[in-house]
Chain A
């Protein structure tokens, strides 16, 4: 029934190798992402100088006289991300403080999964919402707002990342030990004072990590901006304008029939590389902020 011990041991070793191979898939994926982005971009940079890429103010890779200045796309990405984060941070942090410090156990346990649905909605559905609900609504308050604009796309992305911000911040706040709260109450502080002056500072590194997570999501968000922000590169920092983000550009090119090996085809890999670098920079900033503000208790 069991087979000899040696057979079972050998089978175990074989299985371990198989399991390790599965674990290595993650490593190979990372290597492949970096490899593909660098390889295809290197061909791109043989056609386009790094100086033009960084300083040209136009991004028109599909035109007969193409310009390859990444700045308009970076500006579009930064503006939508900024709008999103300005929505998500106040909302997400308020919810996190409420759930962690004020809500009864039952409320917390039942609200959290429902809130997380906000992050589960397919992003193309959010795009529809931004284009056909949020923009018409905003047009009542912002005169002359064009049908495609970064404002409504950013607002909707902000809403989408609220659960990422709130649930990670809440975990961080709940990890603050209870004796710190009790010490604060003993000094006559109310719940809100304790939350704002003891718990939040104590959990700051975790909260910063939550913000960075939300930021990364916002930078990489594609379909909302592709649907609602208009797909025209536009070097502006005015959120009321239509513009194109890095991600929307990749979608735009992919929708057309671009021949493999053309400069336009390689441009999407260069754009992807910039996207990865931006995510990386935000994460590094987050890492150092976290270390700087870490409270040890």
Chain B
């Protein structure tokens, strides 16, 4: 082939590549468009909730019980119920999840038994949430006789978010370098002392992130709580955890009936009366704001701790 023919061929290839590069640019535009569309939907969703619910945003909305009159109906029972259920969930899921993660990362020998636990944790993350509701209905509500109580709901959601907490904690623990452990062992620390004094403090950021993400998932869960038979119309609060006489605290509230924010919203959405849609929107806006806030905090915490630690 002559030199000029070669040069022409090269020219041809270059033109070809240039032509194909146009598609690169087109794809970048497509990718950005798709992402913007998704984020815009999120924005529209929030804006719609706020505008539909705007007429309900008032102090009374937070301090009123549900009512047959839409404009007088509030979310007092719902937000108190949600707070108490979240308290139980956090108190169960965080210790159990962190302990399980410590076991899997620091203690577990590499054998079939450990892999059984690991496979279980992974599978549980994929189980539909309503199936947890069925489990809780059969086990907590009837077998254990807890009834449709705050305790039963808290335990259900704790099981539901357990995989989230475990996975996040394991990741945090795994990122602590081996050298730190070995230095502590070298000074004569036992395994638990190494874990408690070195590994756990360094993993706090990751554990917190996992906890917040888990709770943000639990706070919006509706289906499992409906399944265990939570009521949607509750015009009273659970028993106060404080009482006059000794021992000053009461755990009666654990066994009280309750409702939560997402159930209250669902109840209002499914009413034919249009006026209740505003209540549903207002409750939804508050719920969504709480979820987004928790996720924001989780992102911030992860970022802060990542920045602070330099191995």
CA distance A113 to B300 in the complex (A): 11
Chain B residues lying within 8 Å of A11, measured Cβ to Cβ, are: 190, 192
On chain A, the residues within 8 Å of B227 by CB distance are 250-251, 254, 268
Q: Is A86 interfacial (CB-CB < 8 Å)?
A: no
A241 at interface, CB cutoff 8 A = no
- B244 in the interface (beta carbon within 8 A): no
**Given that A37-B134, A251-B227, A272-B134 are contacting pairs, would A26 and B38 also be in contact in the complex, using a CB cutoff of 8 Å?**
no
Contact B138 A40 (CB under 8 A): yes
Would A26 and B163 count as touching, CB distance under 8 A? Answer: yes
**Smallest beta-carbon distance A86→chain B, Å:** 14
Q: Do residues B41 and A36 form an inter-chain contact, with CB atoms below 8 A?
A: no
Q: Is the interface of B mostly helix, strand, loop or mixed?
A: helix
Q: Is the CB of B280 within 8 A of A128?
A: yes
Within 8 A of A (CB), among B37-78: 37-39, 41-42, 44-45, 48-49, 52
Q: B217 interface residue, CB < 8 Å from A?
A: yes
Q: Which residues on the A side are within 8 Å of B291 (C-beta)?
A: 120-122
A32 touching B35, Cβ below 8 Å: no
Q: CB distance A223 to B223 under 8 Å?
A: yes
A-B contact count (CB 8 A): 250
- Hey, which chain A residues are within 8 Å of B281, CB to CB? 128
- 1/0 per position for B247-267, CB-CB distance to A under 8 A? 000000000000000100110
User: Does A36 contact B295, Cβ atoms closer than 8 Å?
Assistant: no
Q: How far is the CA of A28 from the CA of B104 in the complex (A)?
A: 16
A142 interface residue (CB < 8 Å to B): no
Interface bin, chain B: 35 or more
* Cβ contact of B162, chosen from A29, A111, A191, A195, cutoff 8 A: A29
The answer, yes or no, to whether A260 is at the interface (CB within 8 Å) is yes
Q: How far is the CB of A248 from chain B (nearest CB, A)?
A: 9
Cβ of A222 under 8 Å from chain B = yes
Tell me, yes or no, whether A60 is within 8 Å of chain B by CB. Answer: no
What is the 8 Å Cβ interface bit string for chain B, positions 266-284, against chain A (1 contact, 0 not)? 1001100000010011001
Cβ of A117 under 8 Å from chain B: yes
| A219 and B123 form a contact (CB under 8 A) | no
Q: Is A55 an interface residue (CB 8 A)?
A: no
Decide if B265 touches A125 in the complex (CB within 8 Å). Answer: yes
A36 touches B223 (CB 8 A): no
**B170–chain A nearest beta-carbon distance, Å:** 11
CA distance A221 to B130 in the complex (A): 8
> Cβ of B121: which chain A residues have Cβ within 8 Å of it?
26
Residue of B nearest to A162 (CB): B38
Complex CA distance for A268 and B128, rounded to whole angstroms: 14
Residues of A within 8 A of B27 (CB): 97-98, 102, 192, 195
A29/B20 contact (C-beta < 8 A), A12-B191, A219-B128, A251-B226 known:
no
Are A121 and B220 CB-contacts (below 8 A) given A128-B281, A222-B128? yes
A23, A26, A114: the one contacting B124 at CB < 8 Å is A26
Distance in angstroms between the alpha carbons of A234 and B137 in the assembled complex: 27
Contacts of B96 on A, CB cut-off 8 Å? Answer: 22, 25
The listed residue (B31, B48, B126) touching A216 by CB distance below 8 A is: B126
Q: Say whether B131 contacts A159, CB under 8 Å.
A: no
CB neighbours of B128 from chain A (8 A): 216, 219-222, 247, 275-276, 279
Given the interface contacts A129-B48, A279-B126, does A29 sit within 8 Å of B99 by beta carbon?
A: no
List the A side residues contacting B213 at CB < 8 Å.
120
Contact A15 B192 (CB under 8 A): yes
Contact with B along A91-127 (1 / 0, CB 8 A): 1001101110011000000010111111011111111
Q: Which residues of B contact A192 (CB under 8 A)?
A: 20, 23-24, 27
Of the candidates A19, A26, A95, A133, the one whose C-beta lies within 8 Å of that of B48 is A133
Q: Is B239 an interface residue (CB 8 A)?
A: no
Query: Nearest Cβ in chain B — how far from A106, in angstroms?
Result: 14
Min CB gap B59→A, angstroms? 23
Known: A30-B123, A37-B131. 9 other contacts (CB 8 A): A19-B99, A22-B103, A98-B35, A122-B219, A125-B49, A127-B269, A132-B48, A213-B126, A272-B130
Instruction: Please name 13 pairs of A and B residues whose Cβ atoms are closer than 8 Å in the assembled complex, sorted by A.
Output: A12-B191, A16-B107, A33-B132, A94-B34, A97-B31, A120-B292, A121-B220, A124-B220, A132-B52, A220-B130, A223-B262, A226-B223, A275-B131
Instruction: Spell out A's residues near B (CB within 8 Å).
Output: 8-9, 11-12, 15-16, 18-27, 29-30, 32-33, 36-37, 39-40, 91, 94-95, 97-99, 102-103, 111, 113-118, 120-129, 131-133, 159, 162, 188, 190-193, 195, 213, 216, 219-223, 226-227, 247, 250-251, 254-255, 260, 268-269, 272, 275-276, 279, 283
- Among all A-B residue pairs, the 6 with the closest Cβ atoms: A220-B128, A122-B220, A98-B31, A22-B99, A19-B103, A36-B138
